[in-house]
């Protein structure tokens, strides 16, 4: 199947592209093509446009010790089937440049800034190549993801001013917000240019939460990497550790027992439930509908208590392990959980009608923070945010993992792309998630919850996509020496979705910003790594 697809793709390419392909192979459901870096933009955009593919991740590997060059890897998901295209290209260390993908694939913009920061490869033709995750006083010429970077060195401080975009004109002024915010949220900086109330431009400056996760992972043995993955983005920790475990399992060719797959599905949905309730409560709070907000927060608290009851941890930490899970759910517990879920369903139904019936609330939500479908496509948005704009994308259905292929669920979709649409999508997803937990626990196969321990050979590559509560995320691993990754690329859902906020607030008034922000529920920690 995938073989056939590769041939179709190659024959669809104009001869100057297809003839330049250096090598190609099929590995599982991945089509690998090695191409010269000069052809990266035309080949990638050909596959995107003709095959409806979307960019999943784009990153660099320091391969100098092995093959004498840097590698660039572009991962794209083909639509329709569970197939992927991996474009591989080489960059000469003596001339660390490659042609930018951004003009053809706008979503590549942040990836290329990140590659410049961490690996020191310059995307020529990039419209705005400025720092993304490293701080303003980071000196030029030191790239933390290169293999010759010494983590113990004292890094000199060289203050640079960050080049913010400027909007000029009479009556235009700037409002800087953050990194320490008024609410209890993560740090980031927002630079608004406003003329009176309406927002003319917003520039987001992130990177405050950059903890060097990818570098740290290279010195972390796989078993401990699970704990690190749980701490990439706190409230999406189960999804991250699941993606990490799945990637390591596929590196080592491990077979995870059925029961563990069902349990993982149930845990992943329990994580989604408490996250969705938090988002919904946040939206209610930001339109000053306090009664509904408190209602949602009480429900959320109950969900976290349920997590605690099942696993001993409110965030489901310490649950995933390589080859399965640590914590089983005995049948007497299952009946208690199912009873609790029935109660949740009633509460959520009541809550939805409370939330959606109030005209003054709808006034604030409808048409606010619109993200049109074209923008969602251009920026490759993911998760509930994409689905609220009509972009029908869900990893659980499109690239099923764990036990999703055996369970039935709907993927709620809206077209309006406003705050209200995002709220409605989330309310519907909540019901689907509860049903998924019920299905997974109701049909839990018997047997082991983990496979026997396994070795991970050196020099293999594996990836794993997971639908986190915020949307598609990916972990990409290349195995190295000593039971540790050689390269570990993490791409959180928010790395794509952050770009949407700059579009969604245009022309809106400043007081609606917190509401729009909440409806997108973006992760700073997951983005900055």
Partner 1 sequence: MLDIIRKGVLRKGIVTSDYPQEGTPRYAARLGFPKLRTDLCKAHHVCFRSCPTNAIQEREGEIKVDLGLCIFCAQCARSCPEGAWTMSPEIELAKRSRSDLLSSSSIENKSIQELGKSLDAMIGKVFGRSLAIREVDTGSCNACEVEVNALSNAVHDIERFGMHIVASPRHADLLLVTGPVTRNMERALMQTYKATPEPKLVVAVGACACSGGIFRESYAVRGGVDRMLPVDVYIPGCPPRPEAMIYGLMLAVGKLNDKSR
Going residue by residue from 350 to 369, which x/- string records binding to partner 1, judged by CB under 8 A? Answer: x---x---x-----------
Number of residues that bind partner 1 (CB under 8 A): 62
Least separation in angstroms between CB 330 and partner 1: 14
Q: Of the two residues 78 and 477, which places its CB atom closer to partner 1 in the complex?
A: 477
CA distance 425 to 413: 6
Contact between 180 and partner 1 by CB under 8 A: the answer reads yes
Q: Of the two residues 117 and 428, which places its CB atom closer to partner 1 in the complex?
A: 117
Instruction: Fill in the DSSP letter of residue 450.
Output: B
Among residues 120, 278, 469, 514, the one that binds partner 1 under rule CB under 8 A: 278
Q: Of the two residues 134 and 437, which places its CB atom closer to partner 1 in the complex?
A: 134
The region of 13-21, 201-209, 398-406, 441-449 touching partner 1 under the rule CB under 8 A is 201-209
* Binding residues for partner 1 restricted to 482-501, rule: CB under 8 A: none
DSSP string, 388-407: HTT----HHHHS--TTGGGS
Contacts of range 423-427, beta carbons closer than 8 Å, 24 or more positions apart: 423/280, 423/283, 423/355, 423/356, 423/365, 423/519, 424/356, 424/388, 425/384, 425/387, 425/388, 426/276, 426/279, 426/280, 426/384, 427/276, 427/280, 427/348, 427/352, 427/355, 427/356
288 contacts: CB under 8 Å, gap ≥ 6: none
Among residues 185, 200, 204, 373, the one that binds partner 1 under rule CB under 8 A: 185
* Binding residues for partner 1 restricted to 305-344, rule: CB under 8 A: 305, 308-309, 311-315, 317-318, 326
Least separation in angstroms between CB 407 and partner 1: 27
Least separation in angstroms between CB 473 and partner 1: 14
Contact 106, 54 (CB under 8 A): no
Q: What distance separates the 2 farthest-apart alpha carbons in the chain?
A: 71
Instruction: Fill in the DSSP letter of residue 171.
Output: T
Among residues 183, 196, 198, 511, the one that binds partner 1 under rule CB under 8 A: 183
Least separation in angstroms between CB 209 and partner 1: 5
Q: Where are the beta strands (DSSP E) in 250-398?
A: 320-321, 324-325
350 contacts: CB under 8 Å, gap ≥ 6: none
* Binding residues for partner 1 restricted to 233-252, rule: CB under 8 A: 233-235, 237
Least separation in angstroms between CB 233 and partner 1: 6
**Cα–Cα nearest to 482, from 503, 454, 463, 458:** 458
Q: Of the two residues 15 and 159, which places its CB atom closer to partner 1 in the complex?
A: 159
Among residues 258, 301, 378, 432, the one that binds partner 1 under rule CB under 8 A: 301
Least separation in angstroms between CB 302 and partner 1: 8
CA distance 284 to 277: 11
Least separation in angstroms between CB 183 and partner 1: 7
Q: Is 412 left (phi over 0), alpha (psi -120 to 50) or beta?
A: beta
Q: Of the two residues 279 and 398, which places its CB atom closer to partner 1 in the complex?
A: 279
CA distance 488 to 491: 10
The DSSP H or E segment spanning 118 is helix 108-119
Contact between 51 and partner 1 by CB under 8 A: the answer reads no
Among residues 215, 345, 397, 460, the one that binds partner 1 under rule CB under 8 A: 215
* Binding residues for partner 1 restricted to 108-167, rule: CB under 8 A: 135, 144, 149, 151, 153, 155
Among residues 10, 17, 172, 216, the one that binds partner 1 under rule CB under 8 A: 216
Q: Is 127 left (phi over 0), alpha (psi -120 to 50) or beta?
A: alpha
CA distance 110 to 463: 21
Beta bridge partners of 124: 99
Least separation in angstroms between CB 259 and partner 1: 18
CA distance 61 to 121: 10
Least separation in angstroms between CB 47 and partner 1: 34
> Which structure tokens are listed for 470?
């915020």
CA distance 130 to 102: 14
Contact between 176 and partner 1 by CB under 8 A: the answer reads no
The region of 87-95, 211-219, 330-338, 405-413 touching partner 1 under the rule CB under 8 A is 211-219
Least separation in angstroms between CB 358 and partner 1: 8
Least separation in angstroms between CB 182 and partner 1: 4
Among residues 98, 262, 498, 524, the one that binds partner 1 under rule CB under 8 A: 524
HSE toward the beta carbon, residue 273, CA cutoff 13 A = 30
CA distance 269 to 401: 13
Instruction: Fill in the DSSP letter of residue 406.
Output: G
Contact between 454 and partner 1 by CB under 8 A: the answer reads no
Give contact residues for partner 1 (rule: CB under 8 A): 135, 144, 149, 151, 153, 155, 179-180, 182-187, 207-213, 215-216, 219-220, 223-224, 227-228, 231-235, 237, 278, 291-292, 294-295, 297-298, 300-301, 304-305, 308-309, 311-315, 317-318, 326, 350, 354, 358, 523-525
């Amino acid at each position: 199947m995938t073989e056939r697809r590769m041939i179709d793709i190659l024959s669809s390419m104009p001869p100057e592209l297809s003839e330049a392909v250096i090598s190609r192979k099929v590995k599982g459901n991945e089509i690998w093509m090695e191409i010269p870096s000069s052809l990266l933009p035309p080949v990638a955009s050909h596959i995107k446009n003709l095959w409806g593919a979307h960019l999943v991740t784009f990153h660099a590997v320091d391969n100098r010790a092995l093959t004498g060059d840097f590698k660039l890897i572009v991962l794209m998901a083909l639509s329709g089937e569970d197939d992927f295209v991996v474009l591989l290209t080489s960059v000469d260390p003596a001339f660390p440049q490659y042609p930018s993908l951004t003009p053809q694939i706008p979503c590549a913009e942040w990836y290329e800034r990140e590659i410049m920061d961490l690996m020191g490869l310059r995307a020529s033709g990039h419209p705005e190549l400025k720092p993304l995750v490293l701080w303003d006083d980071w000196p030029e010429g030191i790239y933390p993801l290169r293999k010759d970077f010494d983590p113990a060195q004292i890094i000199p401080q060289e203050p640079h001013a960050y080049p913010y975009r400027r909007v000029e004109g009479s009556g235009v002024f700037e409002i800087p917000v953050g990194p320490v915010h008024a609410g209890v949220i993560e740090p980031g900086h927002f630079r608004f240019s406003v003329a009176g109330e309406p927002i003319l431009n917003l520039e987001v400056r992130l990177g405050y939460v950059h903890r060097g996760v990818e570098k740290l992972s290279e010195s972390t043995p796989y078993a401990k990497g699970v704990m690190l993955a749980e701490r990439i983005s706190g409230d999406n920790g189960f999804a991250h550790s699941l993606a990490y475990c799945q990637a390591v399992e596929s590196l080592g060719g491990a077979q995870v027992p059925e029961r563990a797959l069902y349990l993982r599905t149930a845990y992943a949905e329990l994580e989604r439930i408490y996250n969705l309730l938090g988002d919904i409560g946040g939206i209610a709070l930001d339109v000053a509908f306090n009664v509904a907000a408190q209602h949602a927060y009480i429900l959320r608290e109950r969900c976290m208590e349920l997590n605690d009851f099942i696993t001993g941890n409110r965030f489901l930490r310490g649950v995933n392990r390589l080859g399965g899970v640590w914590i089983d759910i005995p049948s007497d517990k299952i009946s208690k959980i199912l009873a609790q879920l029935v109660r949740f369903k009633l509460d959520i139904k009541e809550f939805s009608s409370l939330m959606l019936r109030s005209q003054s609330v709808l006034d604030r939500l409808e048409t606010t923070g619109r993200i049109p479908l074209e923008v969602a496509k251009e920026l490759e948005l993911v998760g509930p945010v994409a689905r609220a704009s009509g972009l029908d994308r869900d990893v659980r259905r499109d690239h099923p993992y764990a036990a999703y292929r055996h369970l039935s669920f709907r993927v709620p979709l809206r077209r309006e792309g406003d705050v209200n649409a995002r709220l409605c999508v989330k309310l519907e997803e909540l019901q689907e998630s509860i049903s998924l937990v019920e299905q997974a626990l109701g049909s839990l196969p018997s047997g082991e919850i983990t496979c026997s321990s396994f070795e991970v050979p050196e020099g293999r590559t594996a990836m794993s996509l997971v639908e986190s509560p915020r949307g598609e995320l990916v972990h990409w691993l290349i195995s190295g020496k000593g039971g540790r990754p050689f390269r570990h690329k993490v791409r959180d859902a928010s790395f794509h979705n952050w770009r949407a906020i700059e579009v969604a607030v245009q022309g809106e008034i400043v007081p609606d910003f917190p509401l729009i922000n909440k409806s997108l529920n973006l992760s700073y920690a997951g983005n900055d790594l």
